[in-house]
Chains A and B, each alone.
Chain A
Amino acid sequence: MTDIIRLTAAETAARIASGELTAVEVAEAHLARIEAVDEKVHAYLHVDREGALAQARAVDAKRAAGEPLGPLAGVPLALKDIFTTEGVPTTVGSKILEGWIPPYDATVTKRLKDADVVILGKTNMDEFAMGSSTENSAYGPTGNPWDLTRVPGGSGGGSAAALASYQAPLAIGTDTGGSIRQPAAVTGTVGVKPTYGGVSRYGMVAFSSSLDQGGPCARTVLDAALLHEVIAGHDPMDSTSIDAPVPPVVEAARSGDVAGLRVGVVKELGGEGYQAGVVERFNESVELLRGLGAEVVELSCPSFTYALAAYYLIAPSECSSNLARFDAMRYGLRVGDDGSHSAEEVTALTREAGFGPEVKRRIILGTYALSSGYYDAYYGSAQKVRTLIARDFERAFEQVDVVVSPTTPTTAFPIGERVDDPLAMYLADLCTIPVNLAGNAAMSLPCGLAPEDGLPVGLQIIAPALKDDRLYRVGAAVEAAFVAKWGHPLLEEAPQL
Chain B
Amino acid sequence: MPGITREEVAHLGRLARLELSGEELDHFAGQLDDIIGAVARVSEVAGEDVPPTSHPLPLTNVMRQDTVRPSLTAQQALSGAPAQEQQRFKVPQILGEEA
Would you call B46 and A360 a contact (CB within 8 A)?
no
Q: Would you call A101 and B39 a contact (CB within 8 A)? A: no
| Residue B99 at the chain A interface, CB threshold 8 Å | no
| B86 interfacial by beta-carbon distance below 8 Å | no
How far does the Cβ of B40 sit from chain A's closest Cβ, in whole Å?
A: 7
Evaluate contact between B36 and A306: CB separation under 8 angstroms: no
Contact A360 to B57, CB < 8 A, known contacts A306-B42, A342-B93: no
Q: Which of A101, A346, A363 contacts B16 (CB 8 A)?
A: A363
A239 contacts the other chain (Cβ, under 8 Å)? yes
- B 1-39 to A, binary, CB cutoff 8 A, 1 in contact else 0: 100100011001111111111001001100110111011
* CB-defined contacts of A327 to chain B, threshold 8 Å: 17
Residue of A nearest to B43 (CB): A381
**From A313, A352, A365, contact of B32 by CB (8 A):** A365
Question: Is the beta-carbon distance between B18 and A352 smaller than 8 angstroms?
Answer: yes
B42-74 CB contact bits vs A (8 Å, 1 = yes)?
Answer: 110110001111111101001010000000100
Min CB distance A424 to B, Å, is: 10
Partner of B80, one of A197, A332, A368: A332
Q: Which residues of A contact B77 (CB under 8 A)?
A: 103
| Neighbouring B residues of A196 by C-beta, 8 Å | 56-57
Q: How far is the CB of A462 from chain B (nearest CB, A)?
A: 14
Answer yes or no: B76 CB below 8 A from chain A CBs.
Answer: yes
Q: How far is the CB of B48 from chain A (nearest CB, A)?
A: 9
Q: Is A347 an interface residue (CB 8 A)?
A: yes
Does residue A443 face the partner (Cβ distance < 8 Å to B)?
Answer: no
Residues in chain B near residue A334, CB distance under 8 A: 82-83
Measured in the bound complex, the distance between the Cα atoms of B12 and A367 in whole Å is 6
CA distance A351 to B54 in the complex (A): 27
Give complex CA distance A390, B54 in Å. Answer: 12
Q: Give the residue name and chain of the B residue nearest to A347 (CB).
A: B17
Q: When chains A and B are docked, how far (Å) is the Cα of A155 from the Cα of B72?
A: 30
Q: How far is the CA of A343 from the CA of B93 in the complex (A)?
A: 6
Cα A367 to Cα B64 in complex, Å, equals 32
Determine the chain B residues whose CB is within 8 A of the CB of A364 once the complex forms: 9, 12-13, 16, 18, 28, 32
Determine if A332 and B82 form an interchain contact, defined as CB atoms under 8 angstroms apart: yes
In terms of DSSP, what is the predominant structure of the interface of chain A? helix
Most buried by B among A341, A345, A368: A368
Assess the A388–B76 pair: CB atoms within 8 A: no
Cβ distance A110 to chain B, nearest Cβ, rounded Å:
14
Cβ contacts under 8 Å, A474 to chain B = none
**B contact residues around A313 at 8 Å (CB):** 39, 42
A236 in contact with B64 given A343-B92, A349-B19, A364-B12 (CB within 8 Å) = yes
A320 and B16 within 8 A (CB): yes
CA distance A371 to B46 in the complex (A): 20
Judging by beta carbons under 8 Å apart, are B92 and A210 in contact?
Answer: no
* Least CB distance, B94 to chain A, in whole angstroms: 5
Docked CA distance A310–B50 (Å): 14
CA A312 to CA B35, docked complex, whole Å: 8
Q: Which residues of B contact A388 (CB under 8 A)?
A: 45-46, 50
Cross-chain contact of B57 among A347, A368, A382, A439 (Cβ < 8 A): A439
In the assembled complex, which residues on chain B have CB atoms less than 8 Å from the CB atom of A439?
Answer: 55-57
Residue-wise, chain A 439-478 has the 8 Å CB interface mask toward B (1 for contact) of: 1100000000000000000000000010000000000000
Residues in chain B within 8 A of chain A (CB atoms): 1, 4, 8-9, 12-21, 24, 27-28, 31-32, 34-36, 38-43, 45-46, 50-57, 59, 62, 64, 72, 76-77, 79-83, 89, 91-94
> Which 4 A/B pairs are nearest by Cβ-Cβ distance?
A439-B56, A331-B80, A384-B46, A383-B52
28 A-B residue pairings within 8 Å (CB atoms): A100-B80, A102-B80, A236-B64, A240-B57, A306-B45, A309-B38, A312-B35, A312-B39, A331-B80, A342-B92, A342-B94, A348-B17, A348-B19, A352-B19, A352-B20, A357-B24, A364-B12, A364-B13, A364-B32, A368-B8, A368-B36, A378-B43, A380-B52, A383-B53, A383-B54, A386-B53, A388-B45, A465-B56
